């Protein structure tokens, strides 16, 4: 029974949050200068006040705030974000088209950050106070302090321009002549290296720091001494009895990190001309296409929300004590 | 005794950067024998226990003496040798069953893990052994409980699991560090009974660490009294209540007239003063609280002197028994 | 247990007395931390340069003063080189420090004020107010910070004020969480209960009794907040969403993008300035964290 109820509770928790997100995006729409009719009037060049008022009536823009809010909500539920002026296409399809490449980039960056960060953090905790720990701490604080766009640009200068070993940007070699699907994949991977690493550095720092402090905490617990008294060598103790306990607090913030990563995607994709949501956001920014921006904001918030739900479920699995409590 | 004892601790000293909380402690544990280390908080008894497995808290070091177990000096063992010693030849039962088990691993895995590691048993075989062991420590319904997590068990049940873990590889010595302090009085007796039964069945030596003289008098063969990192007295347990010589041991006993009524706590408050800082004194650490202390007590630590069969006392002013020609033993 | 436990007596010694000493002790610990002191020195120098910018680098930093793409260390007139339009990179870095520091500090103040207000209200009153405010905090932690900043600034037009407010608006939730937790913990302590028994009003309780004791952990996050605000501002202006009337490090890095192949120093120099300042702030933040709570070794949320 519990096994079913707990995930349901987690899902139920997302409802008020998504309504909140929708309301925030609605408020932002209200803040935006001019509505669709102004845009139309601007594009047609000639429109009287009367025709504009008529259009507003027809589009429901003269309705009270609450009705417009409801209309906004129902649009979001259907993933209907309206039409983009610049691309002359439905915003939803523009976003859907770009989403996979952003998810691929983020997925790789997150995986890299988790693996490296957790390894480094554990290593630092196990050697706490040593020169290795101090050296790594300094490197990680550097990663924590470097703006992603700058490290991206500098890595282009070094690896793409100076050494010429990696491409400067884009997702594939344009007009590339590949002998087989393997080559095409390799080409794609080569294009992913720099953006992935540039994006991951900050999160490597975050996870290493989180992991270091939570591992230090777990290392001081009684059951770790017991495990050592059993005769398990240190690395087995760490792997079996420390890691899983230490991972719990690290996973709790994953939602916030996904959010930060989506923000980072705007900058990184711009630097590397990566054709994803972030790049789309930048292009929308340049042409002041608010509908696209709001759709991206809404979607990325929903993504964070689902990550949070996923983390809750993951913790149910990681920690038997929560299973019991719920 | 002609045969070498199972465990021989000789002149053991443990130091931290700012203190030396264990100084020159020595005792033996024979096969199938229960020896109790007695003392209040800060006496160094848990540090002595940790030293046997070289599991001192961070910053702690063995700075002197030897710990001979089955003839080899543990203080000189390499880390690799220690992993074969720990859990297999010497096992430990800790005080706090609530935190001593890994909260995110089933108890069965935690017991089986020892067997897998030391005996190379397969996962399935180890699990079967774990169920047997849980049955041996009288955990109810072991074949179902094997998949429980620690938080699903009561304190007494967790301590049974701890004991199952400790005896999994049939160790020669079990070090039980306050194994019942965190438990209810009725559960205490059950757990100690269990430990004693296993000692007999597996002919293990047991080093029982406790501050509870009632427990010690009932379950131990010999008693070693520690105070502020020094050994003050050693005597057979059956003589504890009427033959103790050292003013400190007597003070402990005097706090409660009947051994069965000795509480777990509170009995030490009857002796005025406190233990803090006593480990820095050059002489007898107990002298500031001792009613019989002379000025000479503060000059140097008195030698341990034999005053009866298996009975030594480190106190020159202790009331004399019938033995006239006391012989200095050790230092 | 006989193992020495150095922290135990201190924890036990806390009585009904108001704990006021920790701040002084923390400051002394901070001064004792070498990285933190180094960070403070660097920040002091940068602040000095920012204040004295008109004297350190006189004239309009956006004016053409040299040939384009002079490399650093070649010309004494433009020690850090010049960009595509022949503007002095040194002057840009000096004047850019103003925008970064002002926006970083002001946005942090906004975040601290909002966060403290929300957190204190939620933690002090509890009940329904707490429920609603916690939901609000959760909501703002769900919406990706930087994306929200970008959208807000794009909608209301980038000026130094809107950028500051936008960054401030996204940076309050962690403060609110922290303050709420402190208020909940402190609200049950003896000295607070004593004040309540003496008939002190809610406002007095919140401002005079609890807040001063809740502040240390908040202060220790402030430095890191400034760092992340500066990073956000630089990313924003890198994307061309900065205040167009200000010299900004991020915008300078962005301007150098086009000439990355031929003159990468145009992007490298202002970027280094960002790294130095943010690194210094994080060093100070780390020192503050350890000074205020020695048990927490580098955890950051």
**Which of C106, C81, C85, C103 is closest to C93 using CA atoms?**
C81
* Spatial distance between the Cα atoms of C235 and C229, rounded to a whole number of angstroms: 10
The count of structural domains within chain C is 1
Backbone phi, psi, residue B202, to 5°: -100, 5
Q: How confident is the model at residue B211 (pLDDT cuts 50, 70, 90)?
A: confident
Crossing angle for the helix pair A131-145 and A91-126, nearest 10 degrees? 160
The count of structural domains within chain B is 2
Q: Residue C11: inside a domain, yes or no?
A: no
Range name among A36-50, A155-169, B90-104, C59-73 with the lowest pLDDT average: A36-50
Q: Residue B238: inside a domain, yes or no?
A: no
Q: What is the bridge-based pairing of β-strands B222-227 and B230-236?
A: antiparallel
Q: Which pLDDT score, from 0 to 100, does residue A202 have?
A: 94
Q: Are residues B129 and B79 in the same domain?
A: yes
> Mean pLDDT throughout C122-144?
90
Write down how long chain C is. Answer: 301
Q: Are residues B210 and B272 in the same domain?
A: no
* Spatial distance between the Cα atoms of B66 and B277, rounded to a whole number of angstroms: 25
Tens digit of each residue's pLDDT (9 = 90 or more) over A109-142: 999 999 999 999 999 999 988 899 999 999 999 9
Q: Are B304 and B230 in contact (CB under 8 A)?
A: no
The per-residue DSSP string of A131-186 comes to: HHHHHHHHHHHHHHHS-HHHHHHHHIIIIIIIS--S-SSSSS-TT---SSHHHHHH
Assign B224 to helix, strand or coil. strand
**Cβ-Cβ contacts under 8 Å, A229 against chain B:** 53, 55, 86-87, 91-92, 94
Q: Are residues B297 and B179 in the same domain?
A: no
Q: Is A228 on the interface with B (CB under 8 A)?
A: yes
Assign C21 to helix, strand or coil. coil
Q: Residue A203: inside a domain, yes or no?
A: yes
Q: Residue A188: inside a domain, yes or no?
A: yes
Q: What is the bridge-based pairing of β-strands B311-313 and B7-16?
A: unpaired
- Min Cα–Cα distance to chain A from C231, Å: 6
Range name among A249-258, C92-101, C233-242 with the lowest pLDDT average: A249-258
Cα torsion A264, A267, A273, A278: sign: positive
Q: Which pLDDT score, from 0 to 100, does residue B131 have?
A: 94
**Cβ-Cβ contacts under 8 Å, B178 against chain C:** 1
Which helix (H) or strand (E) covers residue A253, if one does? Answer: none
**Which of B70, B214, B95, B197 is closest to B138 using CA atoms?**
B197
Q: Are residues B129 and B219 in the same domain?
A: yes
Read off the CATH number of the domain in which A188 is found. 1.10.3720.10
Assign B90 to helix, strand or coil. strand
**Cβ–Cβ below 8 Å for A222 and B88:** no
Q: Residue A72: inside a domain, yes or no?
A: no
> Mean pLDDT throughout B258-265?
44
Q: Residue B280: inside a domain, yes or no?
A: yes
* Spatial distance between the Cα atoms of C276 and C267, rounded to a whole number of angstroms: 15
Q: Which pLDDT score, from 0 to 100, does residue B178 have?
A: 86
**Cβ-Cβ contacts under 8 Å, C286 against chain A:** 141
Q: How confident is the model at residue C21 (pLDDT cuts 50, 70, 90)?
A: low
Q: Residue A130: inside a domain, yes or no?
A: yes
- Min Cα–Cα distance to chain B from C2, Å: 4
Q: Report percent pLDDT > 70 for chain B.
A: 90
Which helix (H) or strand (E) covers residue C60, if one does? Answer: none
Domain that residue A139 falls in:
2-32+81-325
* Spatial distance between the Cα atoms of C211 and B172, rounded to a whole number of angstroms: 59
Q: Residue A68: inside a domain, yes or no?
A: no
Assign B72 to helix, strand or coil. strand
Tens digit of each residue's pLDDT (9 = 90 or more) over C190-230: 777 787 777 777 877 787 778 888 888 888 889 999 999 99
Closest-CA residue in chain C for B229? C2
Mean pLDDT, consecutive 10-residue stretches, chain A (326 aa), reads: 67 82 84 62 64 68 72 78 77 90 93 94 91 93 93 90 81 72 82 93 94 91 90 90 88 85 92 91 84 88 89 82 58
**Cβ-Cβ contacts under 8 Å, A225 against chain B:** 55, 94, 100
**Between C154, C261, C274, which is nearest A161 by CB?**
C261
pLDDT for C301 beyond 60 = no
Is the pTM higher than 0.90?
no
Domain that residue C37 falls in:
22-56+79-297
The per-residue DSSP string of A74-128 comes to: HHHHTT---EETTTTEEHHHHHHHHHHHHHHHHHHHHHHHHHHHHHHHHHHHHTT
Q: Which pLDDT score, from 0 to 100, does residue A45 have?
A: 59
> Mean pLDDT throughout B189-210?
90
Domain that residue B308 falls in:
243-325
Q: Which pLDDT score, from 0 to 100, does residue C1 have?
A: 37
pLDDT for B327 beyond 80 = no
Q: Residue C221: inside a domain, yes or no?
A: yes
Q: Which pLDDT score, from 0 to 100, does residue B259 have?
A: 45
Q: Residue C132: inside a domain, yes or no?
A: yes
**Cβ–Cβ below 8 Å for A231 and B85:** yes
Cα torsion A154, A292, A87, A101: sign: positive
Q: Residue B205: inside a domain, yes or no?
A: yes
Write down how long chain B is. Answer: 331
Q: Residue A150: inside a domain, yes or no?
A: yes
Read off the CATH number of the domain in which C234 is found. 1.10.3720.10
Complex ipTM, two decimals? 0.85
Q: Residue B287: inside a domain, yes or no?
A: yes
Q: Of B193, B225, B257, which residue sits at a domain end?
A: B225
Residues linked to residue B66 through DSSP beta bridges, in sequence order: B10
Tens digit of each residue's pLDDT (9 = 90 or more) over B110-150: 999 999 999 988 999 999 999 999 998 889 999 999 999 99
Is C57 exposed, middle or buried, given 0-12, 13-18 or 19+ CB atoms closer than 10 A? middle
What are the angstrom distances between the C-alpha of B34 and each of B69, B99, B226? 15, 26, 16
**Cβ-Cβ contacts under 8 Å, A230 against chain B:** 86-87, 91, 113-114, 117, 165
> Tokens 């700075």 — which residue?
B63
């Amino acid at each position: 029974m519990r096994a079913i109820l707990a995930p349901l509770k987690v899902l139920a928790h997302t409802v008020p949050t998504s309504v909140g997100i929708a309301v925030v995006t609605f408020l932002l729409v209200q803040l935006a200068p001019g509505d669709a009719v102004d845009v139309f009037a601007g594009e047609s060049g000639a429109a009287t006040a009367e025709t504009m008022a008529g259009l507003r009536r027809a589009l429901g823009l003269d309705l009270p705030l609450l009705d417009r809010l409801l209309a906004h909500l129902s649009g979001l539920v259907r993933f209907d974000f309206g039409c983009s002026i610049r691309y002359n296409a439905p915003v939803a399809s523009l976003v859907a088209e770009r989403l996979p490449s952003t998810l691929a980039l983020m997925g790789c960056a997150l995986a890299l950050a988790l693996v490296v960060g957790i390894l480094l953090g554990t290593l630092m905790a196990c050697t706490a106070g040593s020169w290795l720990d101090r050296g790594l701490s300094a490197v990680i604080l550097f990663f924590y302090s470097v703006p992603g766009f700058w490290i991206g640009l500098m890595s282009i200068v070094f690896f793409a321009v100076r050494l010429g070993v990696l491409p400067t940007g884009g997702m594939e070699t344009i007009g590339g002549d590949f002998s087989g699907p393997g080559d095409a994949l390799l080409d794609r991977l080569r294009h992913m290296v720099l953006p992935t690493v540039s994006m991951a550095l900050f999160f490597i720092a975050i996870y290493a720091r989180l992991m270091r402090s939570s591992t230090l905490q777990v290392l001081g617990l009684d059951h770790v001494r017991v495990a050592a008294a059993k005769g398990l060598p240190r690395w087995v103790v760490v792997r079996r009895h420390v890691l899983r306990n230490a991972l719990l607090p690290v996973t709790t913030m994953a939602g916030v990190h996904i959010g930060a990563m989506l923000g980072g995607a705007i900058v990184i994709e711009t630097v590397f001309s990566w054709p994803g949501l972030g790049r789309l956001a930048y292009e929308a920014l340049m042409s002041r296409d608010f509908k696209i921006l709001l759709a991206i904001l809404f979607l990325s918030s929903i993504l964070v929300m689902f990550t949070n739900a996923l983390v809750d479920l993951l913790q149910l699995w990681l920690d038997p004590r929560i299973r019991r409590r719920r | 005794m002609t045969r070498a004892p199972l465990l021989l601790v000789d002149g053991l000293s443990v130091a931290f950067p700012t203190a030396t909380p264990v100084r020159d402690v020595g005792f033996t544990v024979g096969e199938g024998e229960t020896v109790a280390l007695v003392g209040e908080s800060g006496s160094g008894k848990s540090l002595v226990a940790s030293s046997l497995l070289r599991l001192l808290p961070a910053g702690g070091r063995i700075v002197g003496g030897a710990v001979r177990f089955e003839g080899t000096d543990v203080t000189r063992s390499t880390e690799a040798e220690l992993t074969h010693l720990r859990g297999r030849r010497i096992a430990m039962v800790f005080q706090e069953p609530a935190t001593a088990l890994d909260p995110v691993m089933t108890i069965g895995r935690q017991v089986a893990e020892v067997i897998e590691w030391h005996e190379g048993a397969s996962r399935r075989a180890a699990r079967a052994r774990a169920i047997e062991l849980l049955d041996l420590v009288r955990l109810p319904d072991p074949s179902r409980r094997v998949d429980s997590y620690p938080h699903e068990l009561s304190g007494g049940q967790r301590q049974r699991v701890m004991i199952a873990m400790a005896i999994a590889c049939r160790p020669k010595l079990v070090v039980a560090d306050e194994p019942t302090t965190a438990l209810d009085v009725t559960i205490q007796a059950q757990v100690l009974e269990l430990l004693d039964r296993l000692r007999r069945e597996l002919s293990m030596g047991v080093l029982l660490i406790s501050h509870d003289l009632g427990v010690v008098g009932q379950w131990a063969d010999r008693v070693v009294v520690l105070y502020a990192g020094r050994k003050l007295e050693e005597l057979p347990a059956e003589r504890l209540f009427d033959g103790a010589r050292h003013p400190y041991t007597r003070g402990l006993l005097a706090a409660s007239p009947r051994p069965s009524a000795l509480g777990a706590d509170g009995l030490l408050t009857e002796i005025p003063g406190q233990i803090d800082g006593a480990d820095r004194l050059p002489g007898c650490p107990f002298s500031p609280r001792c009613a019989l202390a002379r000025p000479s007590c503060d000059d140097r630590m008195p030698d341990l002197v034999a005053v009866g069969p298996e009975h030594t006392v480190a106190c020159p002013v202790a009331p004399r028994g019938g033995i006239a020609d006391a012989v200095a033993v050790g230092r | 247990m006989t193992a020495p436990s150095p922290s135990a007596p201190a924890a036990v010694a806390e009585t009904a007395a108001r704990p006021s000493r920790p701040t002084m002790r923390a400051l002394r610990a901070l001064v004792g931390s070498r990285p933190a002191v180094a960070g403070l020195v660097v920040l002091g120098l940068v602040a000095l340069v920012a204040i004295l910018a008109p004297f350190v680098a006189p004239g309009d930093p956006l004016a053409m003063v040299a040939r384009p793409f002079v490399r650093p260390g070649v010309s004494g007139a433009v020690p850090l080189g010049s960009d595509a339009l022949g503007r002095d990179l040194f002057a840009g870095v000096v004047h850019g420090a103003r925008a970064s520091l002002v926006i970083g500090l002001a946005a942090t103040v906004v975040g601290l004020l909002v966060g403290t207000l929300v957190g204190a209200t939620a933690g002090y009153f509890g009940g329904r107010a707490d429920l609603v405010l916690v939901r609000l905090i959760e909501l703002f932690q769900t919406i990706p910070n930087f994306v929200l900043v970008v959208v807000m600034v794009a909608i209301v037009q980038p000026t130094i004020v809107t950028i500051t407010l936008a960054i401030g608006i996204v940076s309050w939730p962690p403060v609110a969480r922290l303050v709420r937790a402190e208020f909940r913990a402190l609200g049950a302590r003896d000295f607070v209960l004593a004040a309540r028994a003496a008939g002190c009003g809610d406002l007095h309780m919140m401002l005079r009794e609890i807040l001063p004791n809740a502040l240390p952990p908040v202060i220790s996050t402030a430095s890191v907040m400034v760092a992340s605000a500066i990073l956000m501002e630089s990313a924003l202006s890198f994307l061309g969403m900065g205040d167009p009337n200000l010299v900004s490090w991020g915008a300078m890095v962005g301007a150098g993008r086009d000439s990355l192949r031929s003159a990468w120093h145009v992007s490298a120099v202002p970027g280094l300035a960002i790294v130095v300042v943010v690194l210094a702030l994080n060093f100070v933040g780390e020192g503050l964290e350890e000074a205020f709570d020695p048990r927490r070794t580098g955890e950051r949320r």
